[in-house]
Amino acid sequence: MLFDQLVHGDRQAMGNDWFESVEARRRAKRRLPRPVYMALVAGSERGLTLRDNLAAFGELGFAPFVAGLLGERDLSTTVLGQELALPVMISPTGVQAVHPEGEVAVARAAAARGTAMALSSFASKPIEEVVAANPRTFFQTYWTAPRDQLLQRLERARAAGAVGLILTLDWSFSHGRDWGSPHIPDQVDLRTMARFAPEALAHPRWFLRWARTGHVPDLTVPNLAPPDGGPAPTFFGAYGEWMQSPAATWDDITWLREQWGGPFLLKGVMRVDDARRAVDAGVSAISVSNHGGNNLDGTPAAIRALPAIAEAVGDQVEVLLDGGIRRGSDVVKALALGARAVMIGRASLWGLAANGQAGVENVLDILRSGIDSALLGLRKASVRDLTPDDLVILPGFARRLGAPVEEPGARPATTDPRHRPAETATPTA
Ligand SMILES: Cc1cc2nc3c(=O)[nH]c(=O)nc-3n(C[C@H](O)[C@H](O)[C@H](O)COP(=O)(O)O)c2cc1C
pLDDT at 425: 32
CA distance 317 to 344: 20
CA of 350 to the centre of ligand 1 (A): 12
DSSP conformational letter for 294: T
DSSP conformational letter for 337: T
Q: Which residues pair with 234 in a beta bridge?
A: 220
CA of 409 to the centre of ligand 1 (A): 36
Ligand 1 site: residues with CB under 6 angstroms?
39-40, 53, 91-95, 120, 122, 140, 168, 267, 289, 291-292, 294, 322-325, 344-347
pLDDT tens sequence across 39-61 = 888 788 999 999 999 999 999 99
Whether the predicted model's global pTM rises above the 0.85 cut: yes
CA distance 96 to 239: 13
List Cα–Cα distances, 192 to 196, 235, 429, in angstroms. Answer: 6, 15, 40
Please give the mean pLDDT across all residues of the chain. 88
Contact 91, 322 (CB under 8 A): yes
Nearest CA to ligand 1 atom 14: 93
CA distance 174 to 171: 8
Told to judge if 203 belongs to the known catalytic residues of this protein, a careful annotator would answer no
CA distance 429 to 335: 24
pLDDT at 419: 38
422 pLDDT higher than 50: no
Nearest CA to ligand 1 atom 4: 93
CA of 276 to the centre of ligand 1 (A): 23
217 pLDDT higher than 90: no
CA of 381 to the centre of ligand 1 (A): 31
Pairing, β 318-322 against β 285-288: parallel
End-to-end CA distance of the chain: 46
Q: Which ranges of 179-293 does DSSP label H, i.e. alpha helix?
A: 190-202, 204-213, 235-243, 250-260, 272-280
pLDDT at 413: 39
Q: Which is the closest atom of ligand 1 to the Cα of 325?
A: 27
pLDDT exceeding 70 applies to what percent of the chain? Answer: 86
